[in-house]
Chain A
Amino acid sequence: MTVAAGVGYVLIALGPALSLLASVIAKKPFLILTLLSSTLFWLISLIILAGAWRAFLPVKSTELWPYSILILTSVGFQEGIRIGFWRLFKKMEDMLNAFADRVSKPRLFLTDKMLLALAGGLGHGLAHAVFFCLSLLTPAFGPATFYVDKCPSIPFFLISAIIALGFVIIHTFSMVIAFNGYTEGKRKDQIFVPFAHLIAALITLINLVPGGCNIGLPLLCIMAGTTLYYSWQLVWRRLTEHQTTRSSD
């Protein structure tokens, strides 16, 4: 539906991500590099998943169970990869600290580590938005629109844009939560992330049911809001604890 609609859908999916990019990430080149490498990481994991599932595609029926197996395996794999990503992150942190010592500059602050986690999560979210939503948006720049059979009330592009928005938020902030959880060793945070991801992915299964998207979309947004709120609480707690420990030195 014309260029304006196409651009609108892009902005719906990527609006918060772009503002995060412009205000936080673009200022520090190292965060840009972190974002690019985490996007690449996510892409590689997606390719591995696709390779594993290639033999079973295309899924002919639109019943729930093939897709639920797909989702379970995919989410499980990605959460496993997240732990590997965290190990890489620790190594990078050590290298950066060693480099900082060598050039006699201060080591990484807590905010730096959180910013790195944010950049990593944003990379994952951007990759999701790009591959699941943006690459299908090209027809939206044309003169017409498209409706999926299962969801005749909302245009397909709008649904995928909103779902992409939800997942961008979930990926971005669950990385912050996950890194904090692994660093501090808190079980609650560590379990929250895969759980939230899995629930969000399962919510999208509701879209397979006719008329399900009317329920699925708000639920997904609620899930994204929950993740956002949880991460906000965590970061707030961490920062205030950090400041009180520092000022009490």
Chain B
Amino acid sequence: MPPPDDPPSTTTTTRTSIIDSLGVEIVGVMSPVSICMLLVVLILTSLSSPSTTSSTSPPPVTAATLIYVESDSDSPSHKLLGAVLDAAAFVALIAAATFLLVLLYYYNFTSFLKNYLRFSVFFVLFSMGGSIMASLLQHFSIPLDAPTSFILLFNFAILGVLSVFSPAVPILLRQSYMVSVAVIVAVWFARLPEWTTWVLLIALALYDLAAVLCPHGPLRILVELASSRDEELPALVYEARPTDSSHPVSPPASTPVASLGSVEMQPVSEASNSNSSSVDEEERSPLVSSPPVVRENLSNFNHEQVRESNNSNHAVVEMETGESETLALVEREGFRSSSNSDSEFEMFDSTRGIRLGLGDFVFYSVLVGRAAMYDLMTVYACYLAIISGLGCTLILLSVFRHALPALPISITLGVIFYFLTRLLMEPFVVGASTNLVMF
């Protein structure tokens, strides 16, 4: 029997129902992904005007085009072979970089990683962001002089470096900078030639699958290392804070790991965790980037911690992942047991949101951006596919409760939907709607 009702006049608007708050975390992750994709599509479509396509300059020499540079005059089989070779080289580079990272992390070179990460974020925001800004200024003929734009860009980049690693910066600013880093990198990646992009995406999805699920995969090793030390994984992550009014104000500290002492977390962490290390709790994320001549891969540790809190109304799942470019979702058993024992700890942890790695943002946006270069219909189809893949992965994670790669499902669905839409749906829909026959 439903509980006794209030007088019927205004009840339906004031009673809270379970669908009011269900799914907040999922939407909190999906909205930045959507915003990132939208920005990438906008930038790509506004910059790929006829003037740029006519001047088909050779594509940038990058790690992804080391072996073969696609040109229009090659046969499809040649392009395919070249793309496969390129993708294999790229994935090998990423794997090597990930192993290097695991090694560095194993030997506790944390400050080196941290500073390298700061440098790479600055580089991305200043140099790559600067070139995008220059093309946008040029394209839209915005009257902004060089010194002013330099100063603005510099400020933007410095603030980004500060906000990414400092726990005292407002969460909204951090989230915005995470999304802008992802947008800039994705716009850059989307300039790769077409066949190479698709094969690369598929290869990365497969690599993700292998790296997280195989027993000796680098990401799995990294995750186990981090969980055995009860520390944060070094990663550039996007953190979605849940806005739950039933809890007290969530501490502004960004990293959830109580073992690393932040000012706000001190009382809780010292109570529950004995091995608080002296390293500050900034998230370390080795975003490897180098000058545009030869660009290494992005070895981005994506970090999500998934842990279901006992507060069942608020199914907060922290997903912990650590891997290059991809998303491994894992639960830390030790962490959970300590959290169950300490209610304060649990309360604090339950106010932390889902954290999604930046590499996923990048590659989702690359897929959608590449779809945007064909037609808007493929963009919508790929967007829906990716979002549903993300949702599936979140659900699978809560079912399986161990490290899961999140890139494969979305990328696979995205690629399938792209080709299905392009080959099947478009003649059908365009043929019908241009004759004004719709259903």
Contact = CB atoms under 8 A, between A and B. Distances in A.
A43 B388 CA distance: 12
A112 B8 contact: no
A116 interface: yes
Interface string A79-98: 00000000000000000100
A142 to B, nearest CB: 11
Interface stretch (B214-222, B397-405, B424-432): B424-432
B384 A30 contact: no
Interface in B367-392: 375-377, 380-381, 384-385, 387-388, 391
Interface string A130-162: 111111101000000000101100001001100
A47 B421 contact: yes
A39 interface: yes
B186 to A, nearest CB: 21
B365 to A, nearest CB: 18
Nearest to A48: B424
Interface residues of A, number: 73
Interface stretch (B15-23, B86-94, B155-163, B197-205): B15-23
Interface residues of B, number: 50
Contact of A54 (B7, B8, B428): B428
Interface in A14-65: 28-33, 36-37, 39-40, 43, 46-47, 49-51, 53-54, 57-59, 62
Contacts of B437: 67, 70-71, 204-205, 207-208
A200 B7 CA distance: 42
B342 to A, nearest CB: 22
A224 interface: no
A215 interface: no
A62 B431 CA distance: 10
B26 A54 contact: no
Contacts of A247: 7-8
Contact of A213 (B28, B425, B434, B436): B436
Given A33-B391, A135-B380, A148 B434 contact: yes
Given A31-B19, A96-B19, A100-B18, A70 B376 contact: no
Given A28-B20, A31-B19, A150 B433 contact: no
9 contacts: A28-B19, A33-B27, A43-B380, A54-B427, A54-B428, A70-B432, A75-B439, A131-B429, A132-B432
Interface of B: 2-3, 5, 7-8, 12, 15-24, 26-28, 30, 312-313, 375-377, 380-381, 384-385, 387-388, 391, 417, 420-421, 424-425, 427-439
Given A53-B428, A131-B425, 18 more contacts: A28-B20, A29-B28, A36-B30, A54-B424, A54-B428, A57-B431, A67-B432, A78-B439, A99-B22, A103-B18, A108-B17, A134-B380, A135-B376, A135-B377, A148-B435, A160-B433, A204-B439, A247-B7
Which 10 pairs show the lowest CB-CB distances between chains A and B?
Answer: A207-B436, A50-B428, A29-B27, A201-B439, A135-B377, A29-B23, A30-B19, A50-B425, A135-B376, A50-B424
Interface of A: 28-33, 36-37, 39-40, 43, 46-47, 49-51, 53-54, 57-59, 62, 67, 70-71, 74-75, 78, 96, 99-100, 102-103, 105-109, 111-112, 115-116, 128, 130-136, 138, 148, 150-151, 156, 159-160, 163-164, 167, 197, 200-201, 204-205, 207-208, 213, 216, 243, 246-247, 249
